[in-house]
Amino acid sequence: MEIPETPTLIGSFAAALQFSTIAPPLVKRLFANQELGNAVAVLPYIGIVLGALLGAAFTGLALVVPPQVAAALTLGLWLLLTGALHFDGWLDSCDGLFGGYTVARRLEIMRDSRVGAFGVAGGGALLLLKFTLLSTLSVPFASLIMAATLGRWAMSVALVAFPYARKQGLGTTMKAHANWLHIAIANVAVLAVLWGFAGLTGLVYLGAASLLMLAFSGLCLRKINGLTGDSYGAICELTEAVVLLCIVALPPTLI
């Protein structure tokens, strides 16, 4: 397949959509390198759409079933719409970061498709936490939009800010063609969502997401000398959970 000489807006959007959801490909070709870099700026906007779909589903379900059932079904839909891509990254990160004794071994474990004890424990704990938080949300529609948007924003910032742990891979191409201008574009989506739904309280959610992203990235730097695609998925999943936790503890002030 031909790769376009110059990147296109639809190509960048399609790349972000394809690598974060199960949506069918919008373009039937390989992506230009710069389109992969531009996708970093688009990821939070994908989060807005995803969060709105999940929020609408939760709101509709809550009209006919108890909150716990609505939460469980919404969580299942969340995994379905994302193809469990980020969740799989969390599982692999748990196994690799805590199951190996050398950098090479940890990276090898993270590449293994099988799930070990740390992955099972971490995955179960994360699902239980998300289910519990979803069950107690007072404003699910806005909350899910903020969580999904901040999760993908944290992933974008981590990709630009920290080194990639492997010499080859899709992440190396995306990182090589992404920069802080892309993060500035991503910031527009995040600030608009947080200000619109939470006002100044949104800064608390942003701060929590930032601290989580920095802490987990620091752990990856110590364990594997950088981040991988699995690390980005784990950051997205953890950030979503932390944002939901902050919303439960400190509900938005504008809604």
The answer to whether residue 2 is domain-embedded is: no
> Which one, of 41, 47, 51, lies nearest residue 20 by Cα?
47
With bands split at pLDDT 50, 70 and 90, how would you rate the model's confidence at 42?
A: very high
The answer to whether residue 66 is domain-embedded is: yes
Q: What pLDDT, on the 0 to 100 scale, is given for residue 8?
A: 75
The answer to whether residue 32 is domain-embedded is: no
Q: How many domains does the chain have?
A: 1
Q: What pLDDT, on the 0 to 100 scale, is given for residue 255?
A: 55
With bands split at pLDDT 50, 70 and 90, how would you rate the model's confidence at 24?
A: confident
Q: How far apart are CA 5 and CA 184, in angstroms?
A: 25
Q: At what angle do helices 229-249 and 117-135 cross, to 10 degrees?
A: 30
Enter the tokens of residue 21.
Answer: 């959801």
The answer to whether residue 27 is domain-embedded is: no
Q: How far apart are CA 91 and CA 238, in angstroms?
A: 11
pLDDT tens-digit map of 164-195: 998 877 678 888 899 999 999 999 999 999 99
Query: Would the pLDDT of 27 be above 90?
Result: no
The more confident residue out of 151 and 16 is 151
Its domain, for residue 155, covers: 43-249
Query: Would the pLDDT of 109 be above 90?
Result: yes
The answer to whether residue 164 is domain-embedded is: yes
The answer to whether residue 223 is domain-embedded is: yes
The answer to whether residue 100 is domain-embedded is: yes
Half-sphere exposure of 236 (CA within 13 A, CB side): 31
